[in-house]
Structure 1
Amino acid sequence: MNVKRLAVVGLTTAAVVAGGATLAGPASADTATQTSPKGPYWPVLQRGQTSEHVRTVQWLLNCKNIKVDVPSHFGPKTQAAVKTYQSRYGLSPDGKVGAYTWTSMASRAQVKYSDRNDCVKALQVALNAFRHSTGAQDLPITGYFGPKTRLSLHKFQKTFYLPVQDHVTVATWNRLTGPESPGE
């Protein structure tokens, strides 16, 4: 009996020391640091906000078959959709879009040339926010990653010293939504 109890206490202590964050799980929105586990800045979005970042998140939710209207306003339906996303992908369902939720969404938003989907709409919204600084034309939000979207993406990548590619990486998503983006 004492051996079993000692083993349980020892394993519990080891788990707390080795992986204490695992026990609590990551919060999706860390308003104190706004950084992900890997370090880049991500804006924290929550109920009541209106911005192009919110609109981007709404299209990313639709891309993952969590349907929500896209009015650019973070209302109760968007909050519920964010909680659904967070629960589905193992995040703490707090209804805020912070570093962990952004990182998760960006890593799952596989967008490449010739795609037709809501993830492309999210990309088009985000690229349009930068059209003045990159010299790109305003993109219609069609959901088609064709020549116009590719040209706009390449101009964005060149302007911000990112590798010029026909697909969107997490680093590109981060730059599109980061601290100097006009989407807030």
Structure 2
Amino acid sequence: MNLKRIAIAGLATAGIVAGGAMLSSSPASADTVPADPAYGSWPVLKQGQTSENVRALQWFLNCETFKVKTPSHFGPATYAQVKNFQAHAEMSDVPDGNVGAHTWLALVEKFPKPMDYGNRNDCVKAVQVLLNKWRYNDDLPITGYHGDRTKNKMLRFQDAHGLPATGKVDTRTLHKLISTPAGK
């Protein structure tokens, strides 16, 4: 190889390395980040999935005024509302419509709604859906009211999962409800 070709190859390699460094320093999208250092892994939800976590996501979106039907299927309407929520929460320049750690945390921490005893709203419906993943022989009706049955099931869930059994709906409890597979 002559000197000119070596110089061009060196510059091309340097550009690839520098470009890779620039790519790795940009913030990850919601769909590529399943973990948060404070809580650990959060499930990643994408269009086409069906689950109780999707249904809870839909109730959380409704609670935040991003209205969507709650069929437990992550379809085009849910995808569009997730993107709207991500834009509203200023999560990135280009919302991706997928739900990972950043989106979950924004839903449950950045824009919290009262979900504790005595409250009635769509966020409580999300909590009831998540609590019903753990059968305990008493499925809760999805009423949106956090009364005695919801509080008692919350206390049992917290106790069984090593959380302080307060009956309060905090971020750590929501993380455990969302991230633990059903029945565990």
Which TM class, normalised by the smaller chain length? 0.7 to 0.9
1:177 paired with 2:181, answer: no
Instruction: Tell me the CA shift for residue 137 of structure 1.
Output: 1.1
Partner deviation per Cα, 1:128-174 (whole Å, 9 max, x = no partner): 0012xxx3510000000000000010010010010112321111111
Q: Aligned equivalents of 2:113 and 2:74: distance in 1? A: 20
Q: Give the match for residue 156 of structure 2.
A: 155
Fraction of identical pairs, as percent: 44
Aligned to 1:29, the other structure's residue is in SS state: helix
**Cα distance, 1:26 vs. partner?**
4.6
Aligned to 1:113: 117
Q: Flag structure 2 segments of 5+ consecutive residues without an equivalent.
A: 1-21
Runs of 5+ consecutive residues of structure 1 not aligned to the other structure? 1-19
How many equivalent residue pairs?
Answer: 157
Q: Is the 8 A contact 1:42 1:174 kept in 2?
A: yes
Does the Cα contact within 8 Å between 1:83 and 1:94 map onto a contact in 2? yes
Distance in structure 2 (CA, Å) of the matches to 1:101 and 1:163 = 25
- Of the structure 1 ranges 63-72 and 37-46, higher mean CA displacement relative to structure 2 is found in 37-46
Question: Whose radius of gyration is greater, 1 or 2?
Answer: 2
| Alpha-carbon distance between aligned partners in 2 of 1:70 and 1:103, rounded to the nearest angstrom | 20
> Which secondary structure does the structure 1 equivalent of 2:41 belong to?
coil
> Residues 111 and 136 from structure 1, CA distance in 2 versus in 1: closer, same or farther, beyond 3 angstroms?
farther
Q: Distance in 1 between matches of 2:40 and 2:80?
A: 26
Q: Secondary structure at the match of 1:130?
A: coil
Pick the aligned partner of 1:125 from 126, 129, 139. Answer: 129
Cα deviations across residues 4-25 of structure 1 (Å, max 9, x unaligned)? Answer: xxxxxxxxxxxxxxxx89x844
**Counterparts of 2:59 and 2:133 in 1: how far apart (Å)?**
15
Tell me the equivalent position of 1:59.
59
Aligned positions of 1:1-184 closer than 5 A: 24-30=26-32, 34-92=34-92, 93-107=95-109, 108-131=112-135, 135=136, 137-178=138-179, 180-182=180-182
Q: What TM-score do the two structures reach when normalised by structure 1? A: 0.79
Does the 8 Å CA contact 1:120/1:143 hold for their aligned counterparts?
A: yes
